[in-house]
């Protein structure tokens, strides 16, 4: 249920309502907008909430129509801004994340971090735990890789995002990273979603390979329901009948998800296209569509990459991408 306070409600009116709800055993989420305050109410017994509409300071009491509550726009009408250190996702800035698919060596990460930092890109990516299609492919450096990422963060003042694939890796990732990635293949790993919901670090939740928007938002709801509402959604392409591209980038989810949810949405044009020279055009389109950020794979030498070389940009191409998406961002009143 949602309790919409009157425009004239004071802070103490809001407190009176929330106190009453909490005393009745409900969980409340207060969202203070410019115009009015909306109180999201989680709990079973709706009749007691409906009765609040008789209070003068309450404008209306409405049910949340969607199966997801905490992440829905109805529950929280304003855009959420998710802070990763000093970097804000969901604000005016379009946040670019770049770096290799996988952490391969200290030297490779430092080269990437040096270049990314030099361009002014604020967040470095790199997987230390790699969910690979083949068990014979490089599986990642594990904790050693996380330490390399943390060293790059400290040296260059970058924020670091890396993937957790299970509870054990989550335990390490939360210690070393600034933003925890839940990959496409784990989007419906509900135990992992519950575990990351209990962590006090922001989460980058990728859309599953064949997940509908509602399934994706329900995955986000799992995380939020377990206590962590700092969630950034990432579209990374879905499986369709088309095989020319690695996946099909569903760019329409940007306006769709923004209508349904208050969470920031970013786009991964690397895993969706699967080929480096299609990455920049789709990155530009993503920014034009209103995405709050981009996550881009870039490698000092893509031909030698241990994973996802064909879709990785070399550094000159990353610089071109960054410069061109900045120009698109400015057209719509944003910047990178």
Judged by the rule CB under 6 A, the positions of this chain that interact with ligand PEP are 101, 127, 131, 183-185, 206, 236, 268, 271
Q: Is 136 strand, coil or helix? A: coil
Picked from Mn ion, ligand PEP, none, the partner binding residue 236 (CB below 5 to 8 A depending on kind) is ligand PEP
Look at residue 206 and give the partner it binds from Mn ion, ligand PEP, none, a contact being a CB closer than 5 to 8 Å depending on partner kind: ligand PEP
Q: Which residues contact 11 (CB under 8 A, 6 or more apart)?
A: none
Q: Cα(290)–Cα(272) distance, rounded to whole angstroms?
A: 17
Stretch in the footprint of Mn ion (CB under 5 A) among 25-33, 48-56, 95-103, 232-240: 95-103
* Nearest approach, Cβ of residue 34 and ligand PEP (Å): 35
Mode of pairing for the β-strands spanning 179-182 and 203-206: parallel
Rounded Cα gap, residues 71 and 216, in angstroms: 11
Binding partner selected for residue 104 from ligand PEP, Mn ion, none, CB under the kind-specific 5 to 8 Å limit: none
Size of the site for Mn ion (CB under 5 A): 2
The residue within the footprint of Mn ion, chosen from 308, 318, 322, 329 (CB under 5 A), is: 308
Contact 325, 97 (CB under 8 A): no
| Minimum CB distance to ligand PEP, residue 157 (Å) | 23
Helix %, strand %, coil % of the chain (to 5): 40, 20, 40
Q: Binding to Mn ion by residue 101, rule CB under 5 A?
A: yes
Q: Which residue is nearest to ligand PEP (CB)?
A: 183
CB of 80 to ligand PEP, least distance (A): 22
Cα Rg, the chain, nearest whole Å = 21
State the sign of the Cα–Cα–Cα–Cα dihedral 228, 236, 188, 46: positive
Q: Which residues bind Mn ion (CB under 5 A)?
A: 101, 308
């Amino acid at each position: 249920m949602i309790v919409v306070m009157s425009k004239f409600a004071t802070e103490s009116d809001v407190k009176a309502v929330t106190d009453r709800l909490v005393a009745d055993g409900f969980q409340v989420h207060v969202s203070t907008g410019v115009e009015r305050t909306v109180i999201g109410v989680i709990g079973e017994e709706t009749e007691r909430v409906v009765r609040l509409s008789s209070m003068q300071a309450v404008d209306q009491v409405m049910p949340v129509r969607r199966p997801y509550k905490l992440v829905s726009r109805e529950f929280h009408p304003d855009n959420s801004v998710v802070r990763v250190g000093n970097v804000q996702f969901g604000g005016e800035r379009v946040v670019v994340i770049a770096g290799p698919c996988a952490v391969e060596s200290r030297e490779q990460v430092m080269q990437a971090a040096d270049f990314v930092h030099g361009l002014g890109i604020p967040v470095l990516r790199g997987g230390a735990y790699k969910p690979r299609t083949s068990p014979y492919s490089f599986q990642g450096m594990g904790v050693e890789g996380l330490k390399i990422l943390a060293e790059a963060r400290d040296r260059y003042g970058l924020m670091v995002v890396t993937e957790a694939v299970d509870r054990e890796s989550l335990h390490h990732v939360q210690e070393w990273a600034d933003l925890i990635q839940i990959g496409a293949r784990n989007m419906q790993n509900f135990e992992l979603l519950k575990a990351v919901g209990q962590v006090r670090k922001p989460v980058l939740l990728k859309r599953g390979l064949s997940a509908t928007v509602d399934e994706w938002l329900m995955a986000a709801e799992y995380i939020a329901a377990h206590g962590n509402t700092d969630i950034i959604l990432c579209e990374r392409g879905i499986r369709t009948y088309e095989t020319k591209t690695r996946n099909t980038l569903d760019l329409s989810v940007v306006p769709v998800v923004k209508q349904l949810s208050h969470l920031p949405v970013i786009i991964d044009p690397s895993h969706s296209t699967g080929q480096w020279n299609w990455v920049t055009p789709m990155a530009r389109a993503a920014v034009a569509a209103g995405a709050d950020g981009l996550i881009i794979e870039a490698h000092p030498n893509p031909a030698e990459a241990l994973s996802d070389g064909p879709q990785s940009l070399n550094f000159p191409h990353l610089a071109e991408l960054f410069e061109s998406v900045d120009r698109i961002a400015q057209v719509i009143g944003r910047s990178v």
